[in-house]
């Protein structure tokens, strides 16, 4: 990093922006295997929050790799950098007063901890979408497990690259025998109980 770069504080603060949104900004970090249901639940949850008049933005793993992280591969070093960049972007959304939902496999505990340390203590909410590998393989919405088993994809999480489960996720969703609606309810209840949002009777 250049020594000639100086941080510039903006006149409008996160506190000022939060007053307008009437919510506690945070990162809802969805982690889990490919096919676990991260993006599906995150998308459904964002719709629920939007209908509740909350200010949100969703960062999805595949979408981010189309633009911001299009120059990264899938080896360990690239995955670390992928999560670091996403964490920095998510932090900016939190600074803007929004609830940002991120759906990334993010297989390494250390990387998730890195993102957690970018924001204040109560601004990172780890949401573990816990779906057994065999269920993810049956779903295989993108056909990736089939390719990984055939050796066509290398370093695939859960097959020939490890997934490190959260030691103690803030929200733990067993997603093999639960509806999307129930999964969303579990997260909404957490957000209400911990004063991130106020539920509005629409």
- 74-86 pLDDT, tens digit per residue, is 877 888 888 889 9
13 — pLDDT class (breaks 50, 70, 90): confident
Task: Tell me the pLDDT of the chain averaged across its residues.
Answer: 91
pTM given for the model: 0.90
- Per-residue model confidence (pLDDT) at position 18: 85
Contact 185, 172 (CB under 8 A): no
The Cα 11–Cα 33 span in angstroms is 41
Quote the percentage of the chain above a pLDDT of 70.
Answer: 96
The Cα 172–Cα 175 span in angstroms is 9
- Show me where the domains of the chain are located: 21-193
The Cα 6–Cα 101 span in angstroms is 30
| pLDDT above 80: residue 181 | yes
Q: Is 10 annotated in the active site?
A: no
8 — pLDDT class (breaks 50, 70, 90): low
| pLDDT above 90: residue 15 | no
Identify which of 85, 92, 121 has the alpha carbon closest to the alpha carbon of residue 106: 85
The verdict on domain 21-193 having CATH code 1.10.3720.10 is: no
| pLDDT above 80: residue 7 | no
37 φ, ψ (degrees, to nearest 5): 110, 15
The Cα 71–Cα 28 span in angstroms is 25
20 — pLDDT class (breaks 50, 70, 90): confident
Owner of token pair 């959304």? 93
Task: Write down the catalytic residue from 2, 34, 106, 161.
Answer: 106
| pLDDT above 60: residue 1 | no
- Per-residue model confidence (pLDDT) at position 6: 66
Question: Edge to edge, what strands does the sheet with 171-174 contain?
Answer: 56-60, 99-103, 26-31, 124-130, 171-174
């Amino acid at each position: 990093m250049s020594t000639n770069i100086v941080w510039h504080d903006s006149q409008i603060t996160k506190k000022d922006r939060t007053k307008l949104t009437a919510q506690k900004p945070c990162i809802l970090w969805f982690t889990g295997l490919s096919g676990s249901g991260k993006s599906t639940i995150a998308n459904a949850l964002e719709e629920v929050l939007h209908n509740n008049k909350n200010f949100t933005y969703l960062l999805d793993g595949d979408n981010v790799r189309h633009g911001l992280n299009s120059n990264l591969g899938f080896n360990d070093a690239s995955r670390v950098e992928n999560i670091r960049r996403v964490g920095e972007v998510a932090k900016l959304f939190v600074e803007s007063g929004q609830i940002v939902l991120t759906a990334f496999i993010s297989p390494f505990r250390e990387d998730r901890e890195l993102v957690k340390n970018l924001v204040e203590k109560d601004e990172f909410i780890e949401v573990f979408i816990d779906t057994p590998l065999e269920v993810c393989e049956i779903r295989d919405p993108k056909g990736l497990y089939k390719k990984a088993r055939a050796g066509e994809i290398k370093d695939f999480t859960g097959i020939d690259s490890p997934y490190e489960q959260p030691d103690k996720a803030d929200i733990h969703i067993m997603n093999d025998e639960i509806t999307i609606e129930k999964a969303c309810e579990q997260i909404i209840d957490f957000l209400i109980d911990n004063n991130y949002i106020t539920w509005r009777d629409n």
